[in-house]
Amino acid sequence: TFDVLVVGGGPAGAASAIYAARKGIRTGVAAERFGGQVLDTLAIENFISVQETEGPKLAAALEEHVKQYDVDIMNLQRAVELVSAARPGGEHEVRFASGASLKSRTLILATGARWRQMGVPGEEEYRNRGVAYCPHCDGPLFKGKRVAVIGGGNSGVEAAIDLAGLVAEVTLIEFMDELRADAVLQKKLASLPNVTVIKGAKTTEVKGDGTRVNGLTFEERATGEARTIDLEGVFVQIGLVPNTEWLEGSPVELSGRGEIITDERGMTSIPGVFAAGDVTTVPYKQIVIAMGEGSRAALGAFDHLIRS
């Protein structure tokens, strides 16, 4: 059994493990895929103090850093159930798809999130080669180019406003006949000269030349007519899905969007169970933020252990 068991091996989980291990307590990390979303990222230019790196390089560095400590790393383990302690101060249990089960006095849930994909031809093929999901991360890579933003909710409209200051032209494509973003954002969007909004349009394909994105095809829903626009980038902004399906049925309190609710020390609604990173309600999903949150949750867990 562990003092701290971290579930998830992305930036939040790695930071939690290092902070916990440095307290000299029994620490384990179980992850489906050590490295997390960082493994799917190409250029990273906003990891403060590192001017430029690549996802797989950062993921390897995370694992290397964790391995400097006495931490049990259990990779390729997918958690399927959380059984919280029956009594205060008791052990929590995490069950895995492999049939294994681990017990720990405290848990840090850091299972991250995934971007909702459109599921159209070309999207997967050109991921990181013109198809992007994070404007804060990849916006500057499209400086002076033409991009589309898919999705007219708050995140899509925010992305379009953000990108309009960097790129040559932005086309925002919304499936419904109206944008769903807050009025103040829509007003700001409408004031920008290099943004075109297309409503009632269903994206059908991301086109490319075999190396990079060069266009986007959509269908006008009213007429059924297909149209293609030439561009260099497509930002998909149709939602971020927290990896909390495995917590459904557990007493861990989730928000309406399925994100884990935590307090200022990163503790969830269950004493001794903490959470950090993209899986929580904390806004602005970024690597440095996930690491900060992970460190905080580990310190919170340590604090909890010495008091109970």
How many helices (H) and strands (E) in the chain? 6, 19
Query: What is the rounded distance in angstroms from the CA atom of residue 303 to the CA atom of residue 38?
Result: 29
Phi/psi region, residue 60 (left: phi>0; alpha: psi -120 to 50; beta: rest), is alpha
Binding to ligand FAD in span 104-143, by CB under 6 A? 110-113, 115, 133-134, 137
- Residues with Cβ within 8 Å of 171's Cβ and at least 6 positions away in sequence, in order, are 146, 147, 148, 149, 195, 196, 197, 198, 229, 231
Report the candidate in 183, 64, 181, 208 with the shortest Cα–Cα distance to residue 125: 208
Q: How far is CA 16 from CA 236, 298, 300, in A?
A: 30, 5, 10
- If one asks whether residue 167 binds ligand FAD (CB under 6 A), the answer comes out as no
The residue from 34, 142, 235, 274 that contacts ligand FAD (CB under 6 A) is: 34
| Catalytic residue flag (residue 3) | no
- If one asks whether residue 296 binds ligand FAD (CB under 6 A), the answer comes out as no
The residue from 13, 139, 151, 242 that contacts ligand FAD (CB under 6 A) is: 13
Specify the residue, 25 or 137, whose C-beta has the smaller distance to ligand FAD.
137
Query: Do 103 and 1 touch, CB atoms closer than 8 A?
Result: yes
Tokens describing residue 74: 């259990």
Query: What is the rounded distance in angstroms from the CA atom of residue 245 to the CA atom of residue 80?
Result: 8
Q: Which stretch binds ligand FAD (CB under 6 A): 9-17, 117-125, 188-196, 249-257?
A: 9-17
Tokens describing residue 141: 């890579």
- Angle, CA of 87, 276 and 139, to the nearest 5°: 165
| Catalytic residue flag (residue 209) | no
Tell me how far, at minimum, the Cβ of 267 lies from ligand FAD, in Å: 17
Specify the residue, 12 or 273, whose C-beta has the smaller distance to ligand FAD.
12
Tokens describing residue 48: 């403060």
Q: Out of 3, 70, 137, 177, which one is annotated catalytic? A: 137
In 3-state terms the chain splits into helix, strand, coil percentages (rounded to 5) of 25, 30, 40
Specify the residue, 151 or 195, whose C-beta has the smaller distance to ligand FAD.
151
| Catalytic residue flag (residue 134) | yes
Specify the residue, 10 or 197, whose C-beta has the smaller distance to ligand FAD.
10
The residue from 12, 58, 108, 185 that contacts ligand FAD (CB under 6 A) is: 12
**Which x/- pattern over 55-94 shows residues binding ligand FAD (rule: CB under 6 A)?**
----------------------xxx---------------
**Which x/- pattern over 243-282 shows residues binding ligand FAD (rule: CB under 6 A)?**
x--x------------------------------xxx---
- If one asks whether residue 163 binds ligand FAD (CB under 6 A), the answer comes out as no
Tokens describing residue 145: 């180019």
Question: Which residues make up the interface to ligand FAD (CB under 6 A)?
Answer: 7-13, 30-34, 36-38, 40-41, 44, 46, 77-79, 110-113, 115, 133-134, 137, 243, 246, 277-279, 285-288, 290
> Which residues are known to be catalytic?
134, 137-138
